[in-house]
Chain A
Amino acid sequence: QKEVEQNSGPLSVPEGAIASLNCTYSDRGSQSFFWYRQYSGKSPELIMSIYSNGDKEDGRFTAQLNKASQYVSLLIRDSQPSDSATYLCAVRGNTDKLIFGTGTRLQVFP
């Protein structure tokens, strides 16, 4: 079992719709959770962090964490073509490194 699992996609949504990206992790002791956006040929860029159960909203982005289910998700409201990218879920456990999933490719079409 991979430590951090994501559906590789692509996830295709129309402009203006809600995109829902999901991630599961195996280390029950994980404490910090992150979503990074990566455009093709570019480096990952942090867009959300979440540390406790529940929802965290920042503009059009909402991160959701459920530690009991070992599940973290990212919702993107009013999706725009500029949101088309690969979204990486990253988890920090008891060590100080981040473990990344393989990423979900999101395509937003006009």
Chain B
Amino acid sequence: DTGVSQDPRHKITKRGQNVTFRCDPISEHNRLYWYRQTLGQGPEFLTYFQNEAQLEKSRLLSDRFSAERPKGSFSTLEIQRTEQGDSAMYLCASSNPLRGANTGELFFGEGSRLTVL
């Protein structure tokens, strides 16, 4: 098992363009989370899935952001009409809450860094 995988690792785009990030979680993990992190800040929750169901979405997330996990395996995060304020590291994490007492432990991928020019 290679852990949580994210693609692309880096993305530079122009304002107004759409971007999509992909996350492949650890294979037996049924929960998948998206976070956003800017310099000097901790990761900020965006949304999470249990299998294919999106269970919670941050109220801070604008309608330009959408996430899917169609078959309960990999997930995509799309940002439409990007703005300079969207520049950040987008982190994906997965967990398996059914595994013993280790409830809530998240395992992060290496992140996808977005730069909007």
A residues at B contact (CB < 8 Å): 4, 8, 31-32, 34, 42-46, 49, 51, 88, 90, 92, 95-103
Contacts and interface: CB of A to CB of B under 8 A. Distances in A.
A94 B109 CA distance: 24
B104 A44 contact: no
Interface residues of B, number: 26
B103 A97 contact: no
Given A43-B111, A88-B43, A98 B106 contact: yes
Given A43-B109, A43-B110, A96-B97, A32 B42 contact: no
A73 to B, nearest CB: 17
**Residue among A43, A44, A101, A103 having the largest count of chain B Cβ atoms under 10 Å:** A43
12 contacts: A31-B103, A32-B103, A32-B104, A43-B110, A46-B107, A90-B106, A96-B50, A96-B97, A97-B56, A98-B106, A100-B35, A102-B41
Given A43-B111, A46-B105, A98-B104, 8 more contacts: A31-B103, A34-B104, A42-B110, A88-B42, A92-B103, A96-B97, A102-B40, A102-B41
Contacts of B21: none
B55 A99 contact: no
Contacts of A4: 42
